[in-house]
Chains A and B, each alone.
Chain A
Amino acid sequence: MTRYLIKRLGQSLLTIFLTVSTVFILVRLAPGDPAQAYAGPFATTEQLEEVRRQFGLDRPILEQYWVFLKGLVRGDLGTSFSFQAPALDVVLDRLPYTITLAVSAILLTTVISVPLGVWMAKRHDTRRELGANVAAIAGQSMPEFWTGTVLLTIFAVLIPVLPASSFTTWGGLILPTITIAIMQIALISRLLRREMVTNFAAPYLTVARSRGVSERRLTWRYAMGNASVPVVTALGTRFAAMLNGVVVVEVVFAWPGVGTLVVRALETRDYPLIVATVLITSMLAILVQLLVDLCYPLLDPRVRLGKASA
C-alpha cells in the first residue's frame, strides 16, 4: 500500500508538472497579447513595452519558464496581471465556491441516482422503467445552459422563491446544484441500472437467491457491491471535472467559481492566473482520482492496490 501511494504520488507530481509546463508554453504561443489586454486598446507602443517589461514578458520563453519553475518551488506562481495579486491567492479565493458547488452537486447526484438506478434495474424492461429511462435520457440530453435558464425563469422570475444569481445566500446554491445534478443523475442512474441488471442476471446471484438470501441483501450487498466500482469511478471522474469549474453553470448563475475565473483569465491572457488555475484544479482532480482508487479495495475485496489483479 505504501509503495503504491509513493508510486501514485510520483506519477501525480509528474502529471501535474507536465500539465502545467505544457499550459505555460501553449498560452504563450496562442494569439493575443497580455500587455494589450492589460493596458487597453489605445495604449501606445511605449506603454505596451513597459507593461511587457513589468510582467517579464519581454524575456525569452525559456527564461520566463525558468523563473516560473523557481517560483513554483517556492509556491509562488506569479502575480495575476488583471488582479495585481498573487495568482495562487486569486484562485484559492475562488476555490471554496467551486468546491461548495461540486460537493453539493455530487451529493445530490448520489442521493438520487443510486436509488433511482436500483429502482430501474429491479423493474427493467417494464413500462415504468421505460418512463424513468426516457426521463433520464431527456435529463442527459438537456444542455446545462438550457436547464439553468429554465430553472431560473421558473424559480427566480415566475415563482420567485430562489435567488437568480451568485452566492449571496445559501438559497443561491440550490438552482446551480440542481442544474448540474440533472445531467449527472441521468448518467449515473443509467450506468448503475446497466451494472445492476448484469449482476441480477449473474449465476452467483441465482445461487445466493436459491440459498435463501433476502432480496434486500441480494440487491444492496451482492449486486450493489459489484456494480459500485464503475459507479464510484464515474462519480469520481464527474466530481473531478466539476472541480475544474462548471463553466456553463457558473456563467448562467454568475457563480464566482474557478470556471468563470478561467474564462476571464483566458480573455485577458492572464498567464499566471491560467497556470495557477490549471495547477490547482489538476491537483484536485488527481487527488480525487487517488481517493477513488483507494476506495476500490473497500468496495471489492478482490482488488489489491499495487498488485496485478487476481
Chain B
Amino acid sequence: MAAGCATPTGLPGPGTLNLALNRSLVSLDNKLNQFDAAVTVQRGVREALTRLTPDLKLHMVLAERFELTKPNSWTVRLREGIRYSDNSPVEIADITTALEMYRGTTGGFLATFFPEWPKVVKIDDRTFRMDTEAPLPILDYLMANILITPAKANKPEELQGGVGTGPYVVSEADRGAGNYLLDANPNYWGVKPAVSRVQVRFLPEESSRVVSLRSGEIDVIDSISPDSVEQLRGLPGVTIETRPGTRLTHLFYNFRKPKTHPLADPKVREALSYAINGPALIGDILQSSVVQATGVVPPDVAGAGKVGAFSYDPDKAKSMLNSLGVRDLNMKIIWESGEFASDTQVLEAVYEMLRAVGVRPTLQQFQPGGDISTWRQGKGGDWDLVANGYPSPTGLAITMMQGMYAGTEEKEKTRDTYHGYVFPAITRQIAAASSEIDEGRRTMLLERVQRDIWQTWPAMWAFAPKAVVAHRNRVGGLQLGANNSYDLTAVRLEV
C-alpha cells in the first residue's frame, strides 16, 4: 500500500516531484475530467496535436503543422517518428478514432465546445485534412483538448490505461485512492523532463494540502483559498505563483423571468449592479485573489474585450430603482457551496449591499451534488440571481460566449440555455464571429458582440479568479498557465 519513493518521514526523495491534487484523478484521460491541475498530469502522459502555452498561445505538439488551408478545411502534418510509450507509432487513424471516441463519450464535456466534429481525410502517412461543414477557425485550439491514444486502445469513455506519447509513463496507479506514480519516458520524442519521477496524490482537504506543503512532504499544491495563500505567503521555503485565470465567476441574473418582472428590464439589472462594492469584496474578503471583470468574459482569455466596468454607487442604484418604480424588490440568490473561494462570505456581503439599496434578498445555498443544476434550469424553483462559474478550457473568449450567450429558443425548450439568456441578435453575432476565418475581422466581430452583451447587463457583478499554486522553493521552472496548469517537462528540482 505504501509507495516506495518517499522517505520514512514522508518527505519526497531528491529526484521525486510530489504533487497534491484537490480532486481525485480517477483516470489520466480527459474525456470527462479536465479540472485545473489534472490537466498538468494528463498532459504529462498523453498529448494532443496542439497545446496552450501558459499565456494561452497555441503551440504545436504532435502536429508539426496545423494550417487553415480552406475556409472549412485544415491541413495537419504529424511530426515524424513519434511513438507511444508502448513503442507503437502515432498514426492518422489514431486522430480519427480519438475524435470518434470523444464524440461518443456520454456526458463528455468537450462536445459543447465543438459546433461540429471535423472529418479526418488522410492525404499521406503523416498528412491529413480536417474538414467541417461550416468554417471552424478555432479548430487548432479545440484540438488541444483531444488527447491522442493508440486507436486500438481508445474507447468512448475515460481510459483506465496510460499509454500516450507524453514525457512520462505510468509506473503505479491506484485509481481508488487517486494516487499515481509517473516515471520519465525514456523514449520521449521531445525535450526530456528534468524530473525523473512524479508522484501524484489526492488530498481533498485544503488544510491537509497546506500542512503537507509546509512540512515539505508535498512540492506543489493548487486550488488554494485566499486565506491559505495568506498563510503560506512569506513562509520560508514556499513560493506562491499567481496569474490571471480563464474562469469567470459571476452573479448572473435569471433570464427566465416574465416580461413584467423588474429583472426583465436591463435598466433594473444595471441599477442593481451599482449596489455591489466590488473593490471591497475583492480586497476584504477575496484578498485580491481575483480581478474584477471588465467585460462579459475573463479579461485574460484570448479575444476578451474591455467593454464595460462595474462601479459602486449605491446612491445611483437607489435613485435608478426609484425612478424605475422598483421598491422592496425580493431577490433570491442561489449558489452551490464551494463554487468559488469564500463563497458564503461574499454572498453574505452581497446580501447586505443589496439591503442597503432597498432590495430584500434571500440566500439559498446548495450542497455539492445537490439540486442546484435543476434550479439553474428553472426546474427546481424560482430564483433571481445565481453565483456561478464558467470555465474556458480552450482559453478563448468565443467558446465561453457560445456556451453562455448563444442561447436560442430551440435550446430554451429543453432549458439548455445559460439561465434563460436568449437574445437572437447576439446569438447570430456570436455565430458570425465563430465562423469568421479572417482573424482581424473576427476580433472586431467579437468585440462588437461583447459590447452588445454587456448592454444587456447579464450579471450583477463578475470576477475572474487568479490561477494560483504554491510550491516548495526546491521546485524550479514551474510556469503556471492561465488555466491553472503547468508543463511538467519544464519543472526541475533544485538540490
A contact set with B: CB distance below 8 Å = 31-33, 35-48, 50-51, 54, 82-85, 90, 93-94, 96-97, 100, 149, 152-153, 156-157, 160-172, 251-254, 256, 260-261, 264, 266-269
Contacts and interface: CB of A to CB of B under 8 A. Distances in A.
A82 B6 contact: no
B408 to A, nearest CB: 12
Contact of A256 (B158, B177, B215): B177
27 contacts: A39-B107, A41-B373, A42-B112, A42-B390, A43-B109, A44-B112, A45-B415, A50-B106, A83-B175, A85-B160, A156-B10, A156-B211, A163-B6, A164-B211, A164-B217, A168-B199, A170-B8, A172-B10, A251-B208, A252-B208, A254-B204, A256-B174, A256-B178, A260-B204, A264-B24, A264-B204, A266-B369
A40, A251, A269: residue with the most chain B Cβ atoms closer than 10 Å? A40
Given A51-B106, A171-B10, A153 B32 contact: no
A51 B157 CA distance: 12
Contacts of B207: 149, 252
Nearest to A253: B208
Given A83-B175, A84-B158, A44 B416 contact: yes
Contacts of B2: 167-170, 172
B260 interface: no
A157 B106 contact: no
A161 B9 contact: yes
Main SS at interface, chain A: helix
A162 B24 contact: no
B118 to A, nearest CB: 20
A49 to B, nearest CB: 9
Interface of B: 1-3, 5-11, 20, 24, 26-27, 32, 106-107, 109, 111-112, 157-158, 160, 174-179, 199, 201-205, 207-208, 211-212, 214-218, 368-371, 373-374, 376-377, 388, 390, 403, 411, 414-416
Nearest to B6: A168
Contacts of B217: 156, 163-165
Nearest to A172: B10
A33 B374 contact: yes
A29 to B, nearest CB: 12
Nearest to A270: B369
Given A160-B215, A164-B217, A256-B176, A38 B1 contact: no
A152 B210 CA distance: 11
A38 B107 CA distance: 7
Given A46-B414, A83-B26, A251-B205, A163 B9 contact: yes
Given A163-B10, A172-B2, A157 B214 contact: yes
B205 A171 contact: no
Given A156-B211, A170-B8, 6 more contacts: A39-B107, A45-B377, A45-B416, A84-B27, A94-B176, A251-B204
A65 B115 CA distance: 39
Nearest to A153: B211
A143 B212 CA distance: 21
A152 to B, nearest CB: 5
Given A94-B177, A166-B201, A168-B2, A43 B215 contact: no
Nearest to B389: A41
A35 B175 CA distance: 21
Query: Nearest 5 A-B pairs (CB), nearest first?
Result: A163-B10, A39-B107, A256-B177, A93-B176, A45-B414
B239 to A, nearest CB: 17
Contact of B203 (A31, A93, A165): A165
Contact of B10 (A40, A164, A251): A164
A50 B370 CA distance: 20
A165 B208 contact: yes
Contacts of A31: 370-371
A9 B305 CA distance: 70
Contact of A32 (B5, B179, B370, B415): B370
A50 B107 contact: yes
B369 A37 contact: yes
Contacts of B205: 251-252, 254
A27 B376 CA distance: 22
A38 B175 contact: no
B215 A168 contact: no
Contacts of A45: 377, 414-416
Nearest to B12: A168
A162 B10 contact: yes
A97 B208 contact: no
Contacts of B374: 33, 36
B173 to A, nearest CB: 11
Contacts of B214: 156-157, 164
Contacts of A48: 107
B202 A96 contact: no
Contact of A42 (B7, B24, B109, B175): B109
B305 to A, nearest CB: 23
A117 B390 CA distance: 57
Contact of B176 (A32, A47, A83): A83
A97 B202 CA distance: 15
A54 B10 contact: no
Contact of B403 (A42, A83, A172): A42
B107, B111, B158, B411: residue with the most chain A Cβ atoms closer than 10 Å? B107
Given A35-B107, A254-B205, A269-B369, A169 B177 contact: no
A85 B159 CA distance: 11
A264 B204 CA distance: 10
A97 B1 contact: yes
Contacts of A169: 2, 6-10
B8 A166 contact: no
Nearest to B205: A251
A264 B176 CA distance: 11
B176 A90 contact: yes
Contacts of A160: 9, 11, 215-216
B452 to A, nearest CB: 23
A245 B216 CA distance: 28
Contacts of A260: 204
A272 to B, nearest CB: 14
Nearest to B201: A166
Contacts of B369: 32, 37, 266-269
